[in-house]
Amino acid sequence: MKKKDAFTLIELLVVIVIIGLLASLVAPKFFGKLDDAKLKTAKAQVEMLSTSLDAFRLDVGRYPSTEEGLKVLWLKKSNIKGFMGPYLPKPLKDDPWGNAYQYTKESKKGEPYELFSFGPDGQLGGDKDISIWD
């Protein structure tokens, strides 16, 4: 009888345990990077929205009203005089945590508009709000 070369069940279990231990050491480091990546993504998207708002203002002569909101940036046609949109190739409605970006024409800080994400806590005024003016 020939002996077949193969792994025993014990050898396979040892390898699986070792892989599991290595994954448990590495996984937490990657999940920490995920939070940083979401923050950076939200900041980049807020800046992109701000650039689109500036392009809208250059064409139309004003920033969108609070009622028009950010949705005017991805419209293909509009009755607004001077509108040359869309200013974004596709809708960008939610931040990385699933909350809508907040836009109002009225600003309490003396800026031309307010544009921000609630951040990871999903609440206004939290310590993680991401604003274009910060």
pLDDT of 61 above 80: yes
pLDDT bracket for residue 119 (50, 70, 90):
confident
Distance of CA 48 to the CA centre of its chain: 11
pLDDT bracket for residue 128 (50, 70, 90):
confident
Kindly report, residue by residue over 20-60, the tens digit of the pLDDT. Answer: 888 888 777 777 677 788 889 999 999 999 999 999 999 99
pLDDT bracket for residue 126 (50, 70, 90):
low
In this prediction, residue 1 carries a pLDDT of 61
pLDDT of 125 above 80: no
Every domain of the chain and the residues it spans: 43-131
Mean pLDDT value of segment 66-71: 92
**Contact yes or no for 49/86 (Cβ under 8 A):** no
The H or E element containing residue 16 is helix 9-60
pTM of the model: 0.73
In sequence order, what DSSP letters do the residues of 72-132 get, joined into one string?
Answer: GGG-S--SSTT----SSSS---B-TTSPBPEEES--SSSSS-EEEE-TTTTSTT-TT-EET
What is the homologous superfamily of the domain 43-131 according to CATH?
Answer: Glycoprotein, Type 4 Pilin (3.30.700.10)
Mean pLDDT value of segment 104-133: 82
Produce one character per residue of 100-109: b if its CB has 16 or more CB atoms within 10 Å, e if not: ebbbeeeeee
Kindly report, residue by residue over 71-117, the tens digit of the pLDDT. Answer: 999 989 888 999 998 999 988 879 999 999 999 998 777 888 999 99
Give how far Cα 110 sits from Cα of 52, 73, 98, 107, 133, Å.
20, 23, 28, 6, 10
